[in-house]
Structure 1
Amino acid sequence: MRKFLLALSASLCIALPGLAQESAPPTPPDSTVTTPEAVPPAAPVLTGLAKVIAENAAAIAKPSRQTIGPVIAAIDAAGEGAPAFLAAWADKKLGARKSDGAIFFVEKQGADYALSDPVTGGAAGTAPKSEITEIKPNSGVRGLIASALVQFQLSDPDPVQRRAALDSLSREGGPEHLEPLAASIAGESDAAIKAQKERLLGLLTIRFGATPEARIAAIEGFGADLALDFRAALNPILATTRKAFAAAPEGNVAKTLRPGHGGFSAEEAYALLVSEGLAPKRLTRADLRAALEAHVENGAVGGIPVAELDQPAKRDAAYTALETAGLVPAAATDDEVASAVAAHQYADIYTEPDSAVTTAAAAALQSVSFKVDAMQGMDLGLDALSLASIYFLAAIGLAITFGVMGVINMAHGEFITMGAYTGYVVQLWIHDYTVSILVALPLAFLVTFTAGVAMERLVIRHLYKRPLETLLATFGISIALQQLFKNIFGTQARPLTAPDWLDGAWVMNDIVGISYIRIAIFVMALVFLALYLWVMKRTRLGLEVRAVTQNPSMAASMGINPDRINMLAFGLGSGIAGIAGVAIGLFAKVTSELGSDYIVQSFMTVVVGGVGNIWGTLAGATLVGFLQKGIEALNPSNTLAAQTYMILFIIIFIQFRPRGIIALKGRAAGD
């Protein structure tokens, strides 16, 4: 009964602590009461991302590209919170607390850091800077983090983020990205991004597909695609390694090799054996001589008399004997080299082990190569057509002055330069580039027309029928104008900026493309061709110019002033040169020597085409432009040599057709 009452009393004290305190008898001063120790609260059980971070805190704080991969993979697989954590890690927004190594989001806040939970992002207080170590992963680790973030960014609501993820995958995509990339395609709402994802999936499948069948299907799905990324995906599959074999070649053989055939020499074969440890290094003559001299005993080396060592075979036998006795290091003599080379087989082995994949890749690349060659030819043709239009535009004014007046104007290039500088000055005052070009074209014509008329009135008119003196005089004017340009504008190149709508290029594919500026020059050349034909065929000035060209004496008797026609023709040719200068200055450097870069080609264009005939000038520009680009394509490393060959060809051409492609009748023909 007493035990029951004591137990009841104890239970009441636990249930009613207030009552127990009031009713408990005072404790005697000399009595001892034993109080049970307080039990600390149990640590929370970590799961998911929090557990991964806690278990790998040290590796996260000091990451290394060689060892951090499994940690990033574990974070990536943790699910919720992983994208934000990885992004903060890559952006160097993580910090480790020194006291316990805990990882937090950190943000500088005065002299302290504001801490946030790395999983939830909730506030976790502050810490002084001395207690936090910023985590700064290197570029290699950030690249791995970026790859891990891709699967989250592929489905990001922001299309900019999705495109960024695809760009990252195109650079560093791997087999682990195939599944998330494929899963993101079905829900993609942007048609352009969806097409980009599908293409990238095909490229990654070519390289990392799970089965050969999937890789082959991906290769065949691209057909004869010309894009660089497709060819870049095929090339690693067809990469080869040259190997030597003691028996038949093993692996996916691309090509068997025979020493001494097909550019594969015996020396290369033995070097391959040495590199693979299948043969000792070759014995050099110096090493052979030194070894033999060091082991002469009783007038013999390795049992072979010294008197017989003048024979190569005896020297090799002596060294072999020393080698067998362990007196010299192992090295191959000439006969041993020949034997070793003959005893092995050689082959180029694909790094890709599956032969079906390499066969499909080789067939696709061959199909692409044919199309690439055709596209390169087309691109070369566009370049040549562009160059021909530039030469035509530069030479059309020279064709007028040379054809009508018979004057060799060596200063024609400086009128081109004058037009370019006119465009530059206009842009100093008019900052809208479209308006400035529209103003510069007629103004350049006016300036150079005036300069041409002044030159004709002051110099050229006194030198008619004296071609050598005309050439020397205009050459002197050319030098004087170049120096004048240097004095006014300096020696540095001046910018002549094209409007925004002329920026960029018209691109058909990764091979064929042409800049919009060159297209504009081509169109301008056609416009001036049409304008020239209209002036010459439909106006009184054109009628008088044609009359003077064919028979100046008869034209004078009909009331036409040849002197006036010569002046206007010279001014017209100079004015067109000024317009050409504005066009050329849009893509070339505007310097005092700009015109001199085109004067030779301009004269060749006029002479080859036929003096004084616009159609001849057009034919000459086409011939010179295509010829120059064709020679440059055959000799791309030396453009100066290409120009030399072109000039030699023109000289030979003129020997057989001195009047050009389209000969002109009349005064120019007689001259």
Structure 2
Amino acid sequence: MRFIPSFARLGATMLILAILALLRPGGALAQEALQPLLQEYQAEIAKPSRSTVDGVLAALLAADLPGTAEFLLRWQDRGVYERTEDGLFFFAEEAGNGLRLIDLDSGAAVADVTSREVNQIRPNSGVRSVIAAALVPYELNAPAPERRAAALDAIARSSEASQIAPLRKSIETESDPGLKQRKERLLTLLTAQFATALPYRLAAIEGLAGDTSIEARSVLNQLTARVPGVGMVAPEGANIARVLEVGVDISTVEAYDRLVAAKLAPPRQSATDRRDVLAQHIVDGAVGGVPLHQLNTDAARTRAYEVLEAAGTVPPRAAEDEVARAVATHVFYEVYSEPTSEVTTAAEAALAATSRALGLYQTLDLVLDGLSLASIFFLAAIGLAITFGVMGVINMAHGEFIMMGAYTGYVVQLFIPDYTISLIIALPLAFVVTFGAGVAMERLVIRHLYTRPLETLLATFGISIALQQLAKNIFGTQARPLTAPDWLSGALTLNDIVSISNIRVAIFVLALIFLALLLFILKRTRLGLEVRAVTQNPGMAASMGIDPDRINMLTFGLGSGIAGIAGVAIGLYAQVTSEMGANYIVQSFMTVVVGGVGNVWGTLAGASMIGFLQKGIEWFNPSNTLAAQTYMVLFVILFIQFRPKGIVALKGRAAGD
């Protein structure tokens, strides 16, 4: 029995040796080293191509060794070097005039070499895109949020079924709420496209119902894509979308063209085609045995062609009756590219819900655009409505007061670089400048022409041209920037369809402020009382101690000052040029005439009607805004034929005439 202790000692020795072997530092490294695996694909890695990179990536991803993601990143970014003497791969960093090689597995510096001793591996763009796709599972869990976001972008650009599992797994450990939401949404899109379990796929498709984003609509459109088909009977087992009825869903000509494309029927032949073919087969003054002088009827030409067709000289052709028979004996249909009928049914229902939501959001976007345009027209026209309503003066230079206000804002920004402060200063300063210009214009020109409206129009038109030329002489012909503050940049975005710029929102708010301010002035102040008195009956107002001349001056200045503030607001998004006022003078007059002269509420109603109608016309023909403006002018002409006093009837000087 002495062999038993000996056997025990031998077993203990072997166990100790095995443990020591496992604990040896190089043992684990040998089993988990990346370099040996790379050497198996040395040639493919050193000179990668689209035809070889897939095999290398498959081996690396299957092995899942430590450092794989880092190697792929460096390989993609051309940061991997091959040492020419032994073909080993390294990372490298600059060291003086050469490079310092870094071991792939340990991260330790190996040696300093010159650029001649190594070859930098430079994969082309195609290889880099394949590597980037393979990196997605690693990048989804990268420590930097930017890398995780880039991985999601890569999945969105090139979606595959294999991305579902790593994406679902990464959601559990995602700490960023925004990225987690993106991952969950992207998982829904991938599940709807590629999931093998039908219940999960149907649930994902139902989750996309009403989603108006481009990504969701793209997925639903792919699932409901149809391919045209034709045959003697509809194919059994196919996911047929619909059977087309000839003459209703498809014309006879289109149906026969499908037969020709499917090589189920010979091509149709027109009379011209038949004549050309016959001309090519004239033999001894005849075609197919029919003399040329007899080929003056359709029946004779048909008989000649049939002879050539029977002899095999010309290709067979389809006559009209043959076309009808061929179409009648075939079934024309559309089949879904997606073979599962439950999927396409759910996708069609989701797409219908999305179409309804899309129409609703498009209507909302159109309404917001109409409100925005109406607020711009209101700001541009309210000053003109005041001067025109109280004084009866057709001021053709009103657009130039808008231009003066915009240039005032530009000059203020030259001296005050802070755009917020400069805007706060520019608004009241523009009012002061244009108020003064309006008062000067009224005192020097308008007051002498009150009883001569045609001469007033011509005079203000001349002043308009003079102000434009003066602006060109001072500021030049190039557009000048009027920059909005940062808090006005960007847009309020509800989804991919509904959005409105912050500047337009600010203009809308400014229009509401002016509406409230003007109503307060006209209804609650002495100046407003006097203005309304002069508007309704200037003679009676003068007999009550009100100076109509002074009221006219203040009113004209007030209207001009409001135009200046409107110019600052408009200049924040439009080009500030000497001609910018001319772009709004026509709309301003249309707004005043349609709304009702001299009434704030009428101006608001006119601006709303003009703005919404113009946007509605542009919606039908979005590529031609000039046509929309032309139709608007025609509408105004027709409108004033039926309601010459505008939406809100004038209660002004006509009462005193």
Task: Using structure 2 for the length normalisation, give the TM-score.
Answer: 0.89
User: Distance between the aligned counterparts of 1:586 and 1:395, measured in 2?
Assistant: 18
Equivalent of 1:577, from 548, 563, 569? 563
Question: Deviation of residue 637 (structure 1)?
Answer: 2.3
Is the Cα contact below 8 Å between 2:537 and 2:656 reproduced in 1?
no
Equivalence for 1:501: 487
Change (3 A) 1:499 1:174: same
Equivalence for 1:114: 100
Question: Deviation of residue 413 (structure 1)?
Answer: 0.3
1:205-259: per-residue Cα shift (whole Å, max 9, x none)? 1111123332211111234223222112211111222233243246322232244
Question: Deviation of residue 374 (structure 1)?
Answer: 1.1
Equivalence for 2:212: 226
Indicate the larger mover: 543-552 or 178-187. 543-552
Equivalent of 2:72, from 73, 83, 86? 86
Equivalence for 2:61: 76
Question: Deviation of residue 105 (structure 1)?
Answer: 2.4
Equivalence for 1:476: 462
Secondary structure of 2:170's partner? helix
Percent same amino acid at aligned positions?
A: 62
Letter of the structure 2 residue corresponding to residue 65 of structure 1: R
Matched, 1:636 2:622: yes
Task: Using structure 1 for the length normalisation, give the TM-score.
Answer: 0.88
Question: Deviation of residue 305 (structure 1)?
Answer: 5.9
User: Distance between the aligned counterparts of 1:449 and 1:91, measured in 2?
Assistant: 63
User: Distance between the aligned counterparts of 1:651 and 1:136, measured in 2?
Assistant: 70
User: Distance between the aligned counterparts of 1:542 and 1:368, measured in 2?
Assistant: 52
Indicate the larger mover: 280-289 or 52-61. 280-289
Is the Cα contact below 8 Å between 1:406 and 1:668 reproduced in 2?
no
Indicate the larger mover: 547-556 or 48-57. 48-57
Question: Deviation of residue 307 (structure 1)?
Answer: 5.8
Question: Deviation of residue 96 (structure 1)?
Answer: 3.4
1:439-491: per-residue Cα shift (whole Å, max 9, x none)? 00011001101111111111101100111110011011111111111111111
Matched, 1:59 2:44: yes
Is the Cα contact below 8 Å between 2:268 and 2:317 reproduced in 1?
yes
Equivalent of 1:376, from 353, 362, 371? 362
Q: How does 1:263-278 map to 2 (within 5 A)?
A: 264-278=250-264
Letter of the structure 2 residue corresponding to residue 59 of structure 1: E
Change (3 A) 1:295 1:631: closer
Change (3 A) 1:126 1:278: farther
Question: Deviation of residue 608 (structure 1)?
Answer: 1.2
Matched, 1:461 2:455: no
Q: Once superposed, which parts of structure 1, at least 4 consecutive aligned residues long, lie more than 6 Å away?
A: 44-48
Equivalence for 1:169: 155
Equivalent of 1:254, from 231, 241, 244? 241
Change (3 A) 1:371 1:554: same
**Any unmatched runs of 5+ in structure 2?**
1-28
1:345-369: per-residue Cα shift (whole Å, max 9, x none)? 3222222121111111110010111
Letter of the structure 2 residue corresponding to residue 63 of structure 1: P
User: Distance between the aligned counterparts of 2:309 and 2:147, measured in 1?
Assistant: 68
Equivalence for 1:489: 475
Letter of the structure 1 residue corresponding to residue 151 of structure 2: A
Equivalent of 2:576, from 575, 590, 607? 590
Change (3 A) 1:54 1:142: same
Is the Cα contact below 8 Å between 1:147 and 1:173 reproduced in 2?
no
Change (3 A) 1:205 1:334: same
Change (3 A) 1:145 1:243: same
1:588-629: per-residue Cα shift (whole Å, max 9, x none)? 111111111111111111111111111111111111111111
Change (3 A) 1:344 1:595: same
1:259-279: per-residue Cα shift (whole Å, max 9, x none)? 4433x3333334333433444
Indicate the larger mover: 102-111 or 653-662. 102-111
Is the Cα contact below 8 Å between 2:233 and 2:331 reproduced in 1?
yes
Letter of the structure 1 residue corresponding to residue 620 of structure 2: L
User: Distance between the aligned counterparts of 1:85 and 1:275, measured in 2?
Assistant: 51
Q: How many residues align?
A: 627
Q: CA RMSD in A?
A: 2.5
Question: Deviation of residue 664 (structure 1)?
Answer: 2.6
Change (3 A) 1:138 1:321: farther
Secondary structure of 1:465's partner? coil
Equivalent of 1:655, from 605, 617, 641? 641
Change (3 A) 1:270 1:114: farther
Letter of the structure 1 residue corresponding to residue 240 of structure 2: V
Q: How does 1:237-252 map to 2 (within 5 A)?
A: 237-249=223-235, 251-252=238-239
Matched, 1:518 2:518: no
User: Distance between the aligned counterparts of 1:294 and 1:372, measured in 2?
Assistant: 58
User: Distance between the aligned counterparts of 2:465 and 2:218, measured in 1?
Assistant: 52
User: Distance between the aligned counterparts of 1:342 and 1:62, measured in 2?
Assistant: 60
Change (3 A) 1:130 1:336: farther
Is the Cα contact below 8 Å between 1:316 and 1:333 reproduced in 2?
no
Higher Cα Rg, which structure: 1
User: Distance between the aligned counterparts of 2:51 and 2:270, measured in 1?
Assistant: 42
Secondary structure of 2:393's partner? coil
Is the Cα contact below 8 Å between 2:234 and 2:333 reproduced in 1?
no
Secondary structure of 2:333's partner? strand
